[in-house]
Structure 1
Amino acid sequence: MNAPSKQPRHWSDPWFGNGRFKLNLVLLALSVLPAQPGRGAGPDCWLYCSRNLWVDKNIDDMEALFRRAANAGCTHALLADSKFAKLGDMDAHYFRNVERVKQFAAELHLEIVPALFPIGYSNDLLWHDPNLIEALPVRDALFVVQDGVARLQPDQAVRIKGGDFSDLKQWDWKDDIVQPDGGAALIRDPKGQNARVVQKLRLTPFRQYHFSVRVRTQDFHGTPEVKLLAGNRALNHNYLGVKPTQDWTTHHVVFNSLENTDANLYLGCWGGGTGSLWFDDAKLEEVGLLNLVRREGAPLSVHTTGGKELIEGRDFERVDDPHMGNRLWKGSYDIYHEPPIIKTSLPNGTRLRVSYYHAVTVYDDQAVMCPSEPKTVELLRDQAKRMHAAWGAKGYLMSHDEIRVWNWCDACQRRHLDAGALLADNVKTCIKILREFNPGGRIYVWSDMFDPQHNAHNDYYLVHGDLSGSWVGLDKEVTIVNWNFDKRSDSLKWFADLGNRQLIAGYYDAGPDQIRAWLESAKGVRGITGAMFTTWQNRYDDLERFAKVVSVFSPGT
Structure 2
Amino acid sequence: VAVALLLQAGPARSFDPAQDKPELWLYYPTNFLVDQNLDKAREIWTRASKAGYTKILLADSKMGKLGDMDKRYFNNLEKAKKLAAELNLELVPCLFHIGYSNTMLWHDPNLVEGIPVKDSLFVVKNGEADVVADPPVEFPAKFGYKDETVSVENGVATVKDNPKLARFSFQFTLPQYRCYHVSVKIKTEDYKANPEIKALGDGRTLQEQHLGVKHTQDWTEHHVVFNTQDHEKVGVYFGVWGSSKGTLQWKDWKIEEAGLVNVLRRPGAPFVVQGYTEGKDYEPVADPKLGAHPWKGEYQAWHEPVKIKTKLPDGTKLRVSWYHPGIIYDGQVSACISEPKTQELLKDEAKRIREAMGAKGYMMSHDEFRSCNTDESCLKRNLDAGALLAENARFCVKLLEGSTVYVWNDMFDPFHNAHDNYYLVRGSWAGSWEGLPKEVVIMNWNFGKRDESLKFFADRGHRQVLAGYYDAPPVQVKEWVKSGAKVKGVVGIMYTTWQNNYTHLEEFARYARE
Scaled by the length of structure 2, the TM-score of the pair is: 0.96
Match of 2:473 in 1: 511
Measured after TM superposition, the shift of residue 383 of structure 1 is 0.7
Match of 1:396 in 2: 362
The answer on whether the counterparts of 1:158 and 1:202 sit within 8 Å (CA) in structure 2 is no
**1:491 aligns to 2:453 (yes or no):** yes
Cα 1:310–1:35 shift into 2, 3 Å: closer
Match of 1:342 in 2: 308
Structure 2 CA distance for aligned equivalents of residues 194 and 421 of structure 1: 39
Structure 1 CA distance for aligned equivalents of residues 205 and 128 of structure 2: 34
One-letter amino acid matched to 1:314: K
Q: Which runs of 5+ in 2 are unaligned?
A: 10-18
Match of 1:249 in 2: 220
The answer on whether the counterparts of 2:124 and 2:313 sit within 8 Å (CA) in structure 1 is yes
Of the structure 1 ranges 387-396 and 518-527, higher mean CA displacement relative to structure 2 is found in 518-527
Name which of 54, 61, 64 aligns with 2:33.
54
Measured after TM superposition, the shift of residue 34 of structure 1 is 2.8
Structure 1 CA distance for aligned equivalents of residues 460 and 366 of structure 2: 18
**C-alpha offsets along residues 212-259 of structure 1, whole Å, 9 cap, x if unaligned?**
011000000111111111122110101011000000011001000001
The answer on whether the counterparts of 1:56 and 1:97 sit within 8 Å (CA) in structure 2 is yes
Match of 1:177 in 2: 149
Structure 2 CA distance for aligned equivalents of residues 413 and 86 of structure 1: 29
Name which of 275, 288, 293 aligns with 1:322.
288
Name which of 504, 525, 540 aligns with 2:487.
525
**1:380 aligns to 2:352 (yes or no):** no
Match of 1:92 in 2: 71
Measured after TM superposition, the shift of residue 183 of structure 1 is 3.2
Correspondences of 1:107-506 after superposition (within 5 Å) = 107-162=86-141, 170-191=142-163, 193-303=164-274, 309-435=275-401, 439=402, 441-506=403-468
Structure 1 CA distance for aligned equivalents of residues 26 and 506 of structure 2: 11
Structure 2 CA distance for aligned equivalents of residues 123 and 108 of structure 1: 32
The answer on whether the counterparts of 1:31 and 1:523 sit within 8 Å (CA) in structure 2 is no
Measured after TM superposition, the shift of residue 30 of structure 1 is 12
One-letter amino acid matched to 2:272: S
CA RMSD, aligned part only? 1.6
**C-alpha offsets along residues 329-360 of structure 1, whole Å, 9 cap, x if unaligned?**
11110010111011111122222111110122
One-letter amino acid matched to 1:534: T
Cα 1:32–1:100 shift into 2, 3 Å: closer
Measured after TM superposition, the shift of residue 32 of structure 1 is 9.6
**C-alpha offsets along residues 143-191 of structure 1, whole Å, 9 cap, x if unaligned?**
12222221212221111013xxxxxxx1122111111244301000013
Measured after TM superposition, the shift of residue 68 of structure 1 is 0.5
Q: Secondary structure at the match of 1:106?
A: helix
Measured after TM superposition, the shift of residue 530 of structure 1 is 1.1
The answer on whether the counterparts of 1:450 and 1:470 sit within 8 Å (CA) in structure 2 is yes
One-letter amino acid matched to 2:431: G
One-letter amino acid matched to 1:52: N
One-letter amino acid matched to 1:415: R
Q: Secondary structure at the match of 1:131?
A: helix
Measured after TM superposition, the shift of residue 31 of structure 1 is 10
**C-alpha offsets along residues 397-425 of structure 1, whole Å, 9 cap, x if unaligned?**
00000000101111111111110000001
One-letter amino acid matched to 2:338: S
Structure 2 CA distance for aligned equivalents of residues 525 and 183 of structure 1: 60
Q: Secondary structure at the match of 2:92?
A: strand
The answer on whether the counterparts of 2:372 and 2:385 sit within 8 Å (CA) in structure 1 is yes
**C-alpha offsets along residues 182-215 of structure 1, whole Å, 9 cap, x if unaligned?**
4301000013x00111211121100010000110
Of the structure 1 ranges 344-353 and 42-51, higher mean CA displacement relative to structure 2 is found in 344-353
Q: Secondary structure at the match of 1:428?
A: helix
The answer on whether the counterparts of 1:34 and 1:41 sit within 8 Å (CA) in structure 2 is no
Match of 1:7 in 2: none
**C-alpha offsets along residues 124-146 of structure 1, whole Å, 9 cap, x if unaligned?**
11111010011100011111222
Q: Secondary structure at the match of 2:172?
A: strand
One-letter amino acid matched to 1:334: Q
Cα 1:519–1:339 shift into 2, 3 Å: same
Of the structure 1 ranges 348-357 and 239-248, higher mean CA displacement relative to structure 2 is found in 348-357
Cα 1:205–1:33 shift into 2, 3 Å: farther
Structure 1 CA distance for aligned equivalents of residues 299 and 118 of structure 2: 22
Structure 1 CA distance for aligned equivalents of residues 47 and 138 of structure 2: 59
The answer on whether the counterparts of 2:3 and 2:23 sit within 8 Å (CA) in structure 1 is no
Name which of 499, 502, 508 aligns with 1:540.
502
Of the structure 1 ranges 359-368 and 528-537, higher mean CA displacement relative to structure 2 is found in 359-368
Q: Secondary structure at the match of 1:190?
A: coil
One-letter amino acid matched to 1:175: D
Measured after TM superposition, the shift of residue 266 of structure 1 is 1.1
Structure 2 CA distance for aligned equivalents of residues 267 and 131 of structure 1: 31
One-letter amino acid matched to 1:398: M
The answer on whether the counterparts of 1:33 and 1:526 sit within 8 Å (CA) in structure 2 is no
Q: Secondary structure at the match of 1:75?
A: strand
The answer on whether the counterparts of 1:211 and 1:253 sit within 8 Å (CA) in structure 2 is yes
Q: How many residues align?
A: 505
Measured after TM superposition, the shift of residue 35 of structure 1 is 5.0
Match of 1:10 in 2: none
One-letter amino acid matched to 1:369: A
Measured after TM superposition, the shift of residue 518 of structure 1 is 0.9
Q: Secondary structure at the match of 1:280?
A: strand
One-letter amino acid matched to 1:489: D
Structure 1 CA distance for aligned equivalents of residues 497 and 139 of structure 2: 43
The answer on whether the counterparts of 1:507 and 1:533 sit within 8 Å (CA) in structure 2 is yes
Percent of residue pairs bearing the same amino acid type: 51
Structure 2 CA distance for aligned equivalents of residues 81 and 30 of structure 1: 30
The answer on whether the counterparts of 2:105 and 2:112 sit within 8 Å (CA) in structure 1 is yes
One-letter amino acid matched to 2:162: P
The answer on whether the counterparts of 1:457 and 1:466 sit within 8 Å (CA) in structure 2 is yes
Cα 1:266–1:31 shift into 2, 3 Å: farther
Match of 2:513 in 1: 551
**C-alpha offsets along residues 288-313 of structure 1, whole Å, 9 cap, x if unaligned?**
2111000011001111xxxxx31110
Q: Secondary structure at the match of 1:491?
A: helix
Measured after TM superposition, the shift of residue 521 of structure 1 is 1.3
Structure 1 CA distance for aligned equivalents of residues 375 and 220 of structure 2: 34
